[in-house]
Structure 1
Amino acid sequence: MSEGVFEFEYQPTRQEIGAGKGLMSKSFYKGGWRWALFCLGLLNGASYVIMGALVSFLLLQAWGETLQSQTFLYYLGFVGIPIGALFFARIVHGHMRQVYVHRTLPKQFRVHLSSDGVDFRSAHSSNRTGWADVDDIVRGKGMTVLVTGACGLILPDRLLAEAGDVAEINRAISQWFDAARGSRA
């Protein structure tokens, strides 16, 4: 088992936080639940389209127009409202990432990885999570996410590189995780 200690300043970007949240969902939704999540997305999209069609139809009626005379306006609402809803959702999710980056991260957090667990420290607080409490490790393009419950610590390779060799750190993380939870075949 690797006994190394790795420490680095924790400053992920908005894009890394967004990608990390996506990786966390891979841990939450496995097997049939991934299909359920996909179907939920389709149903949400269908509800936006239906809402757009209904609002367009009601507006055309309120303006005294017929569907045949104003087909363009009907389809503009039919397509425009769902696109607007998706655009609004992206803005809201982007704002959540922005709040995390600008409110939480300026406090100069440091991550300390060792065989004892993960420490997340600032000048005023410290949080330790033992490897036995980490539920899952999800590896994605350019990052590792340590999932505990409904939370995750997003560890971009860019930040891990500040502490040492990324492959070595990921090997150590896997070894510590496996040792704490019992070896898995």
Structure 2
Amino acid sequence: MKRELQSMAKIRARIALNVGVGSQTPAEILSFEGLNTENEHVAIIFKNVDQFQDTPLVRIHSECLTGDVFHSSRCDCGEQLEETIQKMGEQGGILLYLRQEGRGIGLYNKLDAYGLQSSGMDTYQANNYLGFPDDLRSFEDAADMLKALGVTVIQLITNNPKKIKEIQEYGIELSDVIGTKAHLKNDNRQYLQAKISYGKHKLTL
């Protein structure tokens, strides 16, 4: 069932920059105003958005400081981000980077959850123990950002059924869903397994 979304977002600024490993991929970073939340989400545009095919590649990536910046061995977030940047550098696309750390619970709470995971809990159990639901993230702003870009039909890069369901409910059509690779490391097998068994992510280890 679609949710009513009064899109008030518009582009605030767009700046050319190079991104990715070695900063070799030309792109633009866009800020927005009029989003539903006060979070400072951004879009990274690979190739001119006005020259996109009718259904651009889109990745909705929630911020993960430990994985994206410090390449933590506990998750696969940084590797998924790098995989997306490489793919979009070759094919074009829109990367929506959402500032909702730790599935929406914030950085400090996520670190508390890490401590619980070290004691044997999985990522969902740890969040629940701290008094949070499985996933506090909302993808309403992502849909609003796409509409501000004039994009309503996309190829979504994700393994996560929650993103698929919500982005469609907010009025974005999916022509295709493209999974990311399984980025297995020494310390993230339990994390990935929990995403598969509990979060129903489409991954094969």
**Greater share of residues in strand:** 2
TM-score (ref. length: structure 2)? 0.24
TM-score (ref. length: structure 1)? 0.26
Tell which has more relative contact order, 1 or 2 (C-alpha 8 A, sep 6+). Answer: 1
**Greater share of residues in helix:** 1
Structure having the higher Rg: 1
